[in-house]
Amino acid sequence: MADVVQALLQKIDYTSDTTADPRTKDWFFLESSPLKVWILTAMYILFVIYGPKYMKNRKPFDIRIFMVLYNLAMVVLSIYMFVEIILSTQALGYTVICAPYTKSNAQNPKEMRLARVLWWYYFSKAIELMDTVLMILRKKNDQVTFLHVFHHATMLNIWWWVMMFIPGGQTWFGACLNCFIHVVMYTYYGLSAIPSLKKRLWWKKYITKMQLIQFCITFVHSANSIRVNCEFPSWGKYLLTCYMILMIILFSNFYIQAYIKGRRNPNVDTANNYAKKKSSQNGSTINGTVKKAQ
CB atoms within 10 A of CB 109: 8
Least confident of 18-32, 66-80, 180-194, 210-224: 18-32
C-beta separation of 93 from 201 below 8 A: no
Least confident of 88-97, 187-196, 285-294: 285-294
Catalytic residues: 151
- The span from the first CA to the last CA of the chain, in angstroms, equals 32
Categorize the per-residue pLDDT at 191 as very low, low, confident or very high, splitting at 50, 70 and 90. very high
Q: At what angle do helices 204-227 and 270-282 cross, to 10 degrees?
A: 90
Does the pTM of the predicted model rise above 0.95? no
**Beta carbons within 8 Å of 135's beta carbon, 6+ residues apart:** 141, 143, 144, 291
Burial 224-258 (b: 16+ CB within 10 A, else e): ebeeeebebeeebbebbbebbeebbebbeebbebb
Would you call 28 helix, strand, or coil by DSSP?
Answer: coil
Domain boundaries, the chain: 35-282
pLDDT, one tens digit per residue, over 113-147 is: 999 999 999 999 999 999 999 999 999 998 898 88
Spatial distance between the Cα atoms of 125 and 116, rounded to a whole number of angstroms: 15
